[in-house]
Amino acid sequence: IQVTVDQFCGRYLQKKIIAVSEELAHKLQVDYPKQHITVIENGVDLEALKDVKADAPFLLHEPKVKVKHVGIVGRLVPVKRVDIFLDMASELVNSESTDQVLKFHVIGDGPLRLQLEKRAEQLGLSDAVTFHGHIKNVASYIKSLDVLVMCSDHEGLPMTLLESMALGTPIVSHNAGAVTESFEQGEGGVLSEEHEASSYASALYKLLTSDSKVLPAKPNSALDNAQAIIALYREISL
């Protein structure tokens, strides 16, 4: 009933629906008129992120000169697929060809935490993976990482991804929607060919060992996002 009412309002009562990416806009066209949909990408506070320092506590114990730090950020729920992240970590830790010292960080909390901690223990990752729980100043943790992994089943245009791009932390992702084209050009991050642990492991290893660096990518600012929404409100109120 809720979905039906929501779709009715979107079709007949709402003047506009905001999609945060072109990919999401195409999906919304299945249920809503094309002329109702406007794309306004998410934005982040670039000025605030410019002053963020890479000072997560784990760097005090294991500086980047000795260890490569790889993390995943998000609520610990099924769609985020932290299980894939752990399987990827297990493959890399147990690989004879990997000469890197790797530490993995799960940043966030949620209903699957105990289950995921048990899975990490079963995979023999107790010394390699740290569950940090909810972190208030998550930007400092993102900047302290060498690579951020995003292996969700689906995303729109996640703020964590945009923050990582603004902070200069490379990303490994799969089908990242609005930023896929940038990733294919080597800007902001790289794409895993398949949505499975071995493919993420391969993409991550290449990123960590390659001489070529990921080019910086600048996401939209929160100010641009706000101005676009204000302009849309003015347009539909005329």
Burial 38-53 (b: 16+ CB within 10 A, else e): bbbbbbbebeebeebe
**Which amino acid, one-letter code, is at 193?**
E
**Which amino acid, one-letter code, is at 184?**
E
What CA–CA distances, in Å, run from 110 to 59, 137, 184, 222, 228?
Answer: 25, 17, 32, 27, 33
Chain centroid to CA 75: how far?
Answer: 11
Where do the H-state alpha helices sit in 9-70?
A: 22-28, 46-50, 58-61
Q: What does each of the 238 residues of the chain score in pLDDT, given as a tens digit?
A: 998 998 888 888 888 999 988 888 888 888 888 888 999 988 999 999 999 999 999 998 887 778 899 999 999 999 999 999 999 999 999 886 667 789 999 999 999 999 999 999 999 999 999 999 999 999 999 999 999 999 998 877 888 988 999 999 999 998 766 667 667 777 888 889 899 999 999 999 988 887 667 777 788 899 999 999 999 999 988 7
Question: How far, in Å, CA of 76 to CA of 132, rounded?
Answer: 12
Domains by residue range for the chain, with CATH: 1-40 (no CATH), 47-209 (3.40.50.2000)
Helix or strand holding residue 164 (H, E)? helix 159-167
Stated pTM of the model: 0.87
DSSP three-state, residue 57 = coil
The answer to whether 16 touches 236, Cβ cutoff 8 Å, is: yes
